[in-house]
Chains A and B, each alone.
Chain A
Amino acid sequence: MNTTTLTPTEETPVDTIVPTPPAAVAAARDIDTSLQVSARRARRRRSALIWLCRVLLPLVVVGAWQWSTNAGIVDKFFFGQPSGVYHSLVSLFTKGTAFGSLWLNLWITIKEALYGFLLGTGTGIVLGLLLGQNRFLAAVIGPYIKIANSVPRIILGSIFVVAFGLGTFPKVLLATVLVFFIVFFNAFQGVREVDQNLVANVRVLGASPWQVARHVTIPSALTWIIASLHTAFGFAIIGALVAEVLGAQHGIGLVIVQAQGQFDMDTVFACMLIMAVVTLVAEYFLTLLETRVLAWRPPSRSEAQAI
């Protein structure tokens, strides 16, 4: 760099750099605070607007549904009616279902989904980590997993129900199968995305294969695995419900299929609502787990997580 340009010249008199007078400082501070106040007010107004619209949106949708079915524009025999869904919900909780109390049926469905979720997650993680690390195994088993993945697995439900009867087992099995593939592919990908420099680093420090897995591979794959659990739980519920629809003695899926047979759309909607609440609660716990295990992560990069 040319050093002569750094020396002050006649055009830039040095005496322009004088201390700012106190009055000017105070004025600047006033401007700062008034800016802050107005920014805060704007933010509050925006959040109030968001909440108002949030409340209005379902009111309009449900209201339009209720009104159109009342007015006879839409046939409530086929499409149900919000007030009917409400009555059906009340009767489900107070009088129970044809197959015992609602709580019993709900618990059975949740239990099936939960077992399926745990089993599918467990096998998915183990196999994903194994195949991710072992290229030979991956090459041998990989094509079969791809084939199995392309099978429309819901149909397996029919086979399971016929083979294993109307009990809990076939439901757990279907949920497991649905969950497995989601978790497996994520665990596998997670292992493959491991920073090879990190692996080299711990290997020159004398780490055994197990230590490499414990310190590098597993924690690194965990981000992928945990991200997949949100989708996986939804699929566990689907697996349990579908298997129940195909044949069961208890469970929300059975309640749904019976209501469908009686053209009782209100009860179908009511069951749908109940299962949505279950999934939301599970989602909440999964998010808790995620924030705990992945506390090290930079604050949420994806917009989808903010929703």
Chain B
Amino acid sequence: MAEPRTAGAARIEISALTKRFLTPKGEPFTAIRDVTFTVEPGQFCAIVGPTGCGKSTTLGQISGLEQPSAGSVKVGGREVRGITEGVSFMFQSDALFPWKTVLANVMVGPTLGGMAKKSAIALARDWLRRVGLTGFEDRYPHQLSGGMRKRVAMAAALINEPKILLMDEPFGALDVQTKSIMQTELLGLWEQTRPSVVFITHDLDEAVALADQVLIMTSGPGSIKHSFAIDLPRPRGEVQQIRHEPRFLELQNQIWASLKDEVDRAYAQTAAA
């Protein structure tokens, strides 16, 4: 791969990570066990797996919102203790402040970082321009379409130029057309700042189209089953078009073979329960 500007990005090293919870009934529950993987600085890593396999738990560990039960999470060579610095989150729900205007929503990051109000406004306007929302600064989230809200969330997540971008099924709730538009836009924005990305999804096509590395997670307890390198050239351009390339289909088939067993197994488990 060419040498992109990844100076701001951080390497994520996860080794033998295990997370156990106590269920409300007081029984221990192992969400993930012995998870080991590495995301190189500026790499786009997608994690695919059946429902409830601990994908979101893994994200929580990287952000430092949760502490591991065993194993270690290192970001930029340093063990994660407390909130990891330079992380942004994007969720399936928009996670926008409904009582703040679009501009104020995007400003939250810089303001919490201690930036003066004036420069925060200027920066937020610039990011709204980048996501194509100039002129919508004073709207409230409920006045926007689903795709526009996603763009606001993207601007809000990227404005701090994070070292790591954690995305938890960010486009899961969108319709197919909007989804592919947002994927293309995400790739465009990511090329600009190049943070390391951990992207969780159910959608294998999405994972292959966007990522450099696709990890397949097994369920109950979650662990990494396979890792696939995606060697589609970058910049990838329109996500809609990548899907028809022979190499894409080849990779997709390969990974699906690995994923299918897991999906079947997870389904059998839930059906039996």
Contacts and interface: CB of A to CB of B under 8 A. Distances in A.
Looking at chain A's contact residues, the main secondary structure is helix
Interface in A187-215: 195, 197-198, 200-207, 211, 215
Interface residues of A, number: 21
Could you say which of A200, A201, A219 has the most chain B C-beta atoms within 10 Å of its C-beta?
A201
Given A204-B88, A205-B88, A215-B108, A195 B65 contact: no
A6 B88 CA distance: 44
Contacts of B100: 296
A206 B83 contact: yes
A119 interface: no
A154 interface: no
A22 interface: no
Contacts of B140: 296
A197 B93 contact: yes
Interface in B111-128: 112-113
B158 to A, nearest CB: 12
B91 interface: yes
A24 B87 CA distance: 61
Contact of B95 (A201, A206, A207): A201
Contacts of B132: none
A200 B89 contact: yes
B97 A204 contact: no
Contacts of A205: 88, 108-109, 112-113, 160
B142 interface: yes
B183 interface: no
A211 B112 contact: yes
B135 to A, nearest CB: 18
Given A197-B93, A298-B142, A204 B99 contact: no
Contacts of B89: 197, 200-201, 204
Contacts of B83: 203-204, 206
Contacts of B57: none
Interface string A53-69: 00000000000000000
B108 A202 contact: yes
A200 B97 contact: no
A200 B112 contact: no
A220 to B, nearest CB: 8
A74 interface: no
Given A206-B85, A206-B113, A211-B112, A219 B91 contact: no
Nearest to A212: B112
Contacts of A222: 99
B67 interface: no
Contacts of B223: none
B84 interface: yes
Interface in A8-38: none
B73 to A, nearest CB: 14
Contacts of B237: none
Contacts of A278: none
A286 interface: no
A296 B112 contact: no
A197 B91 contact: yes
A207 B109 CA distance: 9
A195 B112 contact: no
A257 interface: no
Contacts of B88: 204-205
A219 B99 contact: yes
B120 to A, nearest CB: 13
A12 B143 CA distance: 41
A197 B95 contact: yes
Given A200-B89, A211-B112, A296-B99, 13 more contacts: A195-B95, A197-B93, A198-B95, A203-B83, A206-B83, A206-B113, A215-B97, A215-B108, A219-B97, A296-B98, A297-B98, A297-B99, A298-B142
